[in-house]
Amino acid sequence: MLEWLLVPAAYLFGSISSAIIVCRLMGLPDPREQGSGNPGATNVMRIGGKKAAAITLLGDALKGLIPVLLAKSLNADSALLSGVVFAAFLGHLYPLFFGFKGGKGVATSFGVTLGVTWLLGLVVSGTWFLVYKISGISSLSALVASVLTPFYVWLIVGDSNLVITFVLVSSILLWRHKANIQRLLRGEEK
């Protein structure tokens, strides 16, 4: 039963906002108050450049990867692993330590897929890169990869708990990108 403490621990780990910490350490403005107002790697790139964005992206991905790898190393069953995946993702979106105002979840969702299995992470990132190569639009790439992730989980992992979890993750990610989706539909997304 103690292993279920991994779920709140994953949420707390996910609550560490890479964007805000990177911006503070690099003397940049708070990403919640500049650019799009989103504390994620894309907004950090707008206000601080590629280096700050890359560090933020890495931090956000690790927030998903590390808790999932820890759960797997402790032989977590499917339900517990699903709980850890969802908690780490939710921590990024609604961080306890930063007023519950987090990012959109793309990098953290990639981190959890990579933690579940490297092949899943590779396929999801490959989808993102392929769509980006064709469209040149980062948000569209993230949305397509996110929508396909539950299908990939079903094909690669075959676990119904994880499929349901990734349906939830993808649904929330789509909802968090509703403004991007509206701009895509109007042909205004950069």
Query: Where does the pLDDT of residue 144 fall: very low under 50, low under 70, confident under 90, or very high at 90 and above?
Result: very high
Work out the mean pLDDT of the chain and round it to a whole number: 93
Domain ranges of the chain: 2-186
Q: Is the pLDDT of residue 156 over 80?
A: yes
Helix, strand, coil % in the chain, rounded to nearest 5: 75, 0, 25
Give yes or no for residue 173 having a pLDDT over 90: yes
Separation CA 121–CA 115 (nearest Å): 8
Span 11-46, pLDDT tens digits: 999 999 999 999 999 999 999 998 888 898 989 999
Whole-number pLDDT of residue 161: 97
- Those residues with Cβ within 8 angstroms of residue 166's Cβ, 6 or more apart along the chain or in another chain: 85, 113, 149, 150, 153
Give yes or no for residue 2 having a pLDDT over 80.
Answer: no
> Which of 117, 187, 185, 127 lies closest to 156 in space, CA to CA?
117
Provide mean pLDDT across the span 61-87: 96
Condensed to tens digits (0 to 9), the pLDDT of residues 118-131 reads 999 999 999 999 99
Banded pLDDT at 3 (limits 50, 70, 90): confident
